[in-house]
């Protein structure tokens, strides 16, 4: 694991926006990502997302916005709550306002975070990139995919097994039913085949 990735990413994102991050914000975010109810939606997921973004920054129209949206996309995470994405987006918009951002930047960052609800196909290039990164785990090697599957179950351990298995299969089968899981050619080339293998095994 690249121990300098988080600091490098944080500095790069704000520099790309020509803004200075509010004091202490990075640590508050990292503390949020380390909360005890998280097993998959943790600093490991944040790190994996940023590691996927770094070599793909050239695909972004607004790289700083995509990078910052990844930092915030699961910043609020309550497995038993609703509206996690909206609350995460609110936090991002508040942070950007505190940093002096104006114009379309907060609106676009909010839209990027809301795209991780995965309830509609992304409509622009930056959203497609960010969603592909968020779904990169589906195309992980089988051992990591199995670990991810177990981590998600742990986050929902309060749900009865029979109900969890049914709902989980519905979610994964929904991804499998898409004509393409990934919206960018680069991520399709890298992850589509393995993602379909992993999902096929998971929904058997």
Q: Enumerate the H helices of 34-160 as residue ranges.
A: 43-53, 63-72, 84-98, 105-115, 125-134, 142-155
Q: What is the predicted pLDDT for the residue at 13?
A: 98
Percent of the chain with pLDDT over 90: 93
Domain shared by 103 and 3, yes or no: yes
Q: What is the predicted pLDDT for the residue at 201?
A: 96
Domain shared by 140 and 82, yes or no: no
Domain shared by 91 and 155, yes or no: no
pLDDT band of residue 118 (cuts 50, 70, 90) is confident
Residue 129, in any domain of the structure:
no
pTM of the complete model: 0.96
Domain shared by 114 and 173, yes or no: no
The number of folded domains in the chain is 2
| Interval 122-156: pLDDT, tens | 989 999 999 999 999 999 999 999 999 999 999 99
Domain coverage including residue 170: 135-204
> Under a CB-based contact definition with an 8 Å cutoff, are residues 129 and 18 in contact?
no
Geometric angle at alpha carbon 4, from 43 and 15, rounded to 5°:
95
Domain shared by 143 and 167, yes or no: yes
């Amino acid at each position: 694991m690249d121990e300098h990735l988080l600091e490098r990413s944080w500095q790069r994102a704000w520099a790309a926006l020509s803004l200075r991050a509010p004091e202490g914000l990075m640590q508050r975010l990292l503390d949020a990502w380390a909360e005890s109810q998280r097993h998959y939606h943790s600093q490991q997921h944040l790190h994996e997302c940023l590691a996927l973004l770094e070599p793909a920054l050239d695909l972004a129209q607004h790289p700083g916005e995509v990078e910052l949206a990844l930092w915030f996309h699961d910043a609020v995470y309550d497995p038993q709550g609703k509206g996690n994405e909206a609350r995460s987006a609110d936090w991002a918009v508040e942070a950007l306002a505190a940093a002096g951002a104006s114009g379309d930047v907060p609106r676009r960052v909010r839209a990027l975070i809301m795209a991780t609800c995965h309830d509609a196909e992304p409509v622009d290039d930056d959203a497609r990139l960010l969603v592909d990164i968020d779904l990169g785990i589906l195309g992980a090697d089988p051992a990591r995919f199995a670990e991810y599957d177990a981590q998600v179950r742990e986050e929902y351990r309060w749900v009865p097994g029979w109900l969890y298995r049914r709902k989980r299969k519905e979610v994964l089968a929904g991804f499998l039913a898409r004509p393409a899981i990934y919206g960018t050619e680069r991520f399709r080339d890298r992850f589509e085949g393995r993602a379909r293998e992993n999902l096929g095994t998971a929904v058997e």
